[in-house]
Amino acid sequence: MQMGSTPPSAGLSSLGQAELTSLLELARQLLRLDDYDRILDEVVRLSLSILRGERGFLVLARGDGLDFKIVRNWSREELESGSEPISRSIVTRVLDEGRPIFIPDALADSSFAPTESILRIQIRSVLAAPLLIEDEPAAVLYLESSKLNRLFDKPDFEIFQYILELSARALERCMRQIVLEQRNNMLEQGFLARHRFPGIVSKDPAFIKILETVAQVAGSDLPVLVQGPSGTGKELIVRAMHLNSKRHKKTLVTVNCGAISPALLESELFGHLKGAFTGATANKVGVIPSADGGSVFLDEVGELPAELQVKLLRTLQFGEVQPVGATQPIRVDVRFLAATNRNLEEEVAAGRFREDLLFRLNVITLDLPPLADRPDDVLPLFFHFMEKACNDQRRPVPQISPRLERELQTYSWPGNVRELENEAKRLVAITPDGQPLTVDRLSARITRSTRPETQRSGPISLADQEKELIELHLKLADGNRTQAAQSLGISREGLRKKMKRLGLV
């Protein structure tokens, strides 16, 4: 009996063309599946096909014991009624020791004492190993043969371990997707389902509290000021505020205070009469009067010129506007929603923004955090934008590599959600149909910023150099630990221990 934990040091280069083709087909089949049970089915079926075993089982671990009732059986023969189909002792030993067991010939192996069940079932050759999900044994993959002319050999054992590696990666990817979908479904069935928040995706507790505040105050007419860095979703929050308000059947009018010339902004906001100034050839209804009964969104309100701040303050105080050239004000019924990426208190201190206007605008203030403070939202948002981009481009939704997921979560996203959305659109656009999204197609600024040397000053420690080297080899192997270990000249178990020590797992 032989035991081991990693493929031989010769690596993939030691395999023949037929074996490499079989493994490639296995990887291709598994990448096409997004259902956990179907992946398990294919793992056993394809393992038997590749290694030409007689019977195959996948035993799922259940707490402290094994439940043979849920064994997945691919036997070509009828099992004896009421009997356990495989050797409990082999399966238990694999789980206890966390290592593969290779028995070339149970009857000829002097180091192995056949149990009663093995003798009864007439097992001659066995391959059994833990199927690791995030380095924890989730099941045992068990293949056997009773024919003398089809005993497993060392090359079979090597291929068997590559099969385990590919299967584990496929299952990990599927598990991450399942967890993500479950969390999103919980949100959709709970708080987010009871309110209208189009385009907003989050499972971050702090951000959910902001959304709860939006839902709570949406029904009032109080002014709301939304603050936060560019790209954090201020406009989406404002739109959600309007959609959940009693004014949702009326207009939400948006004016970008920083994109309109100061000379034209007064006319844009309040309107003007014919002949009020050169070029005023007709009456114009301003943004605020046109939103009567609805809401006005003042985007980048910190850009308002000082003279217009005075006039806007009067509108907020008395609910009236005076068009340019008019002698009498007109009444309006609007709710003001404003957003800015500036710190308005600092603007007040610098004399660039009126304090009394700030007090009128920030009756309710919402501070949106940067994406760097919402790390758990990076992947849900990325999947959301990726699927939206695929729908817009009428393309199938691709898989994404585990290594890419880690890179996305490591990056600080200075451009926040907007930058993440643009990156998702770009990756979808440049990736051919049928291929997964991978690290090598990421924008250079992202891969540069996630390298250790860009995140510190001073000499790089030996540990950091080792970490960088491992990350580079993992990147070249697209996250495949077996290939990365081979290129580094170490065992897969050695690589796993190094990654754990360096915080890479």
pLDDT tens-digit profile of 278-316?
A: 888 899 888 999 999 999 999 999 999 988 899 899 899
- Residue 76 pLDDT: 41
Higher pLDDT, 354 or 438: 354
Strand order in 364-367's β-sheet?
252-256, 295-299, 335-340, 224-227, 364-367
Q: When comparing pLDDT for 352 and 262, which is higher?
A: 352
Tokens 């082999």 belong to: 90
Higher pLDDT, 428 or 174: 428
Lowest mean pLDDT among 239-248, 256-265, 464-473: 464-473
Percent of the residues in the chain that have a pLDDT greater than 90, as a whole number: 28
Question: What are the b/e assignments for 111-132, b being 16+ CB within 10 Å?
Answer: ebebeebbeebebbbbbbbbbb
Question: 81 pLDDT exceeds 50?
Answer: no
- Tokens for 195, please give them: 């309110």
Q: Which domains does the chain possess?
A: 2-170 (3.30.450.40), 205-368 (3.40.50.300), 457-505 (1.10.10.60)
- In this predicted structure, the answer to whether residue 80 has a pLDDT above a threshold of 50 is no
CA contacts within 13 A on the Cβ side of 82: 0
**With the C-alpha atoms ordered 419, 422, 426, 427, is the resulting torsion angle positive or negative?**
positive
pLDDT tens digits, 146-183? 777 678 888 888 888 888 888 887 777 777 666 666 55
For residue 235, the model assigns a pLDDT of 94
Is residue 86 within 8 A of residue 101, CB to CB? The reply is no
Helix pair angle (402-410, 378-392), 10° resolution: 120
What integer pLDDT is reported at residue 416 of this predicted model? 94
> Whose CA is closest to 470, among 443, 497, 445?
497
Sorted by sequence, the CB contacts under 8 Å of residue 307 that are 6+ apart come out as: 266
DSSP designation for 413 = -
Mean pLDDT score of the chain: 79
Pairwise CA distance, residues 311 & 319, whole Å: 11
Say how far apart CA 66 and CA 87 lie, in whole Å: 12
Report the C-alpha gap between 198 and 134 in whole angstroms. 34
Per-residue model confidence (pLDDT) at position 36: 72
Residue showing tokens 């990426």: 341
pTM above 0.85, yes or no: no
Query: What's the token pair of residue 323?
Result: 């068009």
Q: What 3-state DSSP class applies to 164? A: helix
Query: Could you tell me which residues come within 8 angstroms of residue 116 by beta carbon, excluding any fewer than 6 positions away?
Result: none
pLDDT at 122: 64
Q: At what angle do helices 234-243 and 205-217 cross, to 10 degrees?
A: 40
Q: What is the DSSP letter of 76?
A: S
- Inform me whether the pLDDT recorded for 424 exceeds 90: yes
